[in-house]
Amino acid sequence: MESLEPGDPRRVGGHRLLGRLGAGGMGRVYLGRSRGGRLVAVKLVHAELVLDPMFRRRFRREVEAARRVGGEWTAPVLDADTESDTPWVATGYVPGPTLDQTVERHGPLPTASVLALASGLAHALRAVHACGLVHRDLKPSNVLVTVDGPRVIDFGIARSVDASVVTRTGALVGTPAFMSPEQVRGEEPGPAGDVFSLGSVLAYAATGRRPFGEGLSGLPALLLQVAQGRPQLGGLSGPVRELVEACLAKEPGERPTLAAILDSLPPVPASWLPAEIVTELGRHAAGLLALEDVETAAKRPTRLYLAAGATAAAVTVAAAAMGVALTGDGTGAEGDVPPAMLGTWEGWVSKAGTQTWWLRRVTLSQGRLGADVARIRVVDDTGFCEYTAALSSSAPSVKLRARVTRGVPPGRCGNESQQTMTMNGDKVHWAAHDVSGTLTRARNDAVPAVVRGRWTGTSEGLTAVASAGVRRRFDIGDGAVGTETVRISVANGSGLICDSMATLVSAERDILVFPSRMLTQKAGCVLGGLQKFTPQGASGLRWEYTETGEAAALQRS
């Protein structure tokens, strides 16, 4: 939450505003408190939209739709004024990040969490459809992640199932990467359209990637892929893949109903999220309680010392209420993994007696013996593998049994043998048979801000013929480790040679990426291997292709 700025209102209706939560195309959202003391999210419409009659109709429709659905699986509407000079709506505040924020910060969700997410979203959509509505814009940014399960928000383009709607020629209703084929064709989608979007959201939650691409080749290509192309489901397996494939059937009649989906899934469990996400939610709840104390202290300044004590107690109460057992490092939940080992560890490991090295990144979550508690990524010059691992022993060392979930290139990875992690001071000694190394606690889980943006440079280090005129462009986004966040474009005097997306595999001192998907390919173009970016002062970046020794000094462009 950001502080209120001088131009922000201090009250909307009967709600006192406390800070800024964010902004979107429709308006700005504030955290507020109602007259009764309840925390609320207040959406205030952008001034430039107020005079548009079509927008006002859309806003009224959003408020009406949200009221009809209720609040069990959504954010309930508590108050609204759609006719004032500046329309607004106040909903119950849902204390949690959006699904896309969660995946960007923590990486793809484990299988059990994705299935729980599927159950929660299916319940939410069933409530929407039971009111005679179709959401039409289900996407990760419209799903809030809470300890009690997901919540669906934003009914800005929801429509009644039986409404007679005339769509303007050329109008695109929905978010292209998550809309259904019938929406792409300009047809009015029914409930099956929301099921298709559900499949896309679940694929994103499980892989960190949009199943029909990121739209980097242009909107027409993305829409064609949604309407006619096969989804990219690499890394998905088992019941998640089966469910996603069924939801992404091109024809509405071939998709499962929500009732069938719910029959195939377990209910949302009490603890459906990995421990590190629960910990983050606990800190957020503690922050809200601390905010309460600050307000109280402001009203009674002579008792400030009591407010400080209350804040400490609030942190404990909030964490306990959300299932978090506070430990020395602020992480943990009930389970068998030693609290000191929770979190993400990274380092280089090698095979005894050789110069063969691998980068290994392990994220440990809390859980019981036999449960999945780790996400593992292993990288060398020629490929990378991702694993999910179950806890087989926790004393005196953590022992894990890993199974592969994804490999680049496909088919290169097999299930790993048992591996052992042992605390050694503030580091972890990792070992499996004749491979071992030291892991340290990872500092970054996403691309640092100083590296983000577009960088260009000319290749060096190859033969004169091979490198002459080869220009490289890197568009580095803000994605989390494990997601495709770098676009690599290679061109010579004749034009574009290769265009690919690369997955971020490390964001420590050097930024390491591995090309994982081709966007445009011509004869002789290959994905390539591990690539490294090293900051050079305040405005430079050095790129290296570790397999060939090729390099380039990059500048912002």
pLDDT at 334: 64
At residue 173, the pLDDT reads 55
Helices assigned H by DSSP within 49-190: 53-69, 99-106, 111-130, 181-184
Please tell me whether residues 242 and 117 are part of one structural domain: yes
In terms of domains, do 105 and 201 share one? yes
Side-chain half-sphere of 66: how many Cα atoms within 13 Å? 24
Distance between CA 205 and CA 231 in Å, rounded?
A: 14
Closest CA to 481 of 208, 112, 235, 96: 208
In a domain, 50, yes or no: yes
- The domain in which residue 43 lies consists of 11-92
Residue 409 lies in a domain: yes
Which residue, of 68, 92, 116, is where some domain finishes? Answer: 92
| Whether residues 456 and 539 fall in one domain | yes
Of 222, 238, 264, which one is at a domain's C-terminal end?
264
Task: Identify the CATH number of the domain in which residue 187 sits.
Answer: 1.10.510.10
pTM for this structure?
Answer: 0.53
The total number of structural domains that make up the chain: 5
Q: In Å, how far from its chain's centre is CA 263? A: 27
CA dist 304 to 181, 307, 311, Å?
59, 5, 11
Q: Is the same domain home to 133 and 259?
A: yes
Last residue of a domain, one of 217, 238, 264: 264
Same domain, 119 and 224: yes
- 354 and 433 within one domain: yes
Whether 280 and 247 map to the same domain: the answer is no
Can you give the pLDDT at residue 549? 80
Same domain, 25 and 133: no
Which residues neighbour 437 within 8 Å (Cβ) at sequence distance 6 or greater?
347, 348, 349, 350, 360, 429, 430
The predicted-structure confidence for 295-338, as pLDDT tens digits, reads as follows 544 544 443 332 333 333 333 333 333 333 333 333 334 678 88
- Note whether 78 and 117 are same-domain residues: no
Query: How far is residue 209's CA from residue 200's CA, in Å, rounded to a whole number?
Result: 9
Task: Tell whether 219 and 313 lie within a shared domain.
Answer: no
Same domain, 182 and 78: no
Does residue 533 contact residue 555 with C-beta atoms inside 8 Å? no
Residue range 188-208, pLDDT digits in tens = 778 999 999 999 999 999 999
Does residue 310 sit in the same domain as residue 399? no
Q: What is the pLDDT of residue 159?
A: 52
314 within a domain of the structure (yes/no): yes
Q: Which of 8, 52, 100, 137 is catalytic?
A: 137
pLDDT < 70 regions, the chain = 1, 24-25, 70-72, 155-174, 214-218, 268, 270, 286-334, 461-469, 496, 521-524, 538
- Is 43 annotated among the ligand-binding residues? yes
175 is a domain residue: yes
Residue 137 falls in the annotated catalytic set:
yes
In a domain, 327, yes or no: no
DSSP character string of 118-145: HHHHHHHHHHHHHTTEE-----GGGEEE
Domain at 32, CATH number? 3.30.200.20
> How many Cβ atoms from other residues are within 10 Å of residue 541's Cβ?
22
Three-state secondary-structure class, residue 516: strand
Residue 128: inside a domain, yes or no? yes
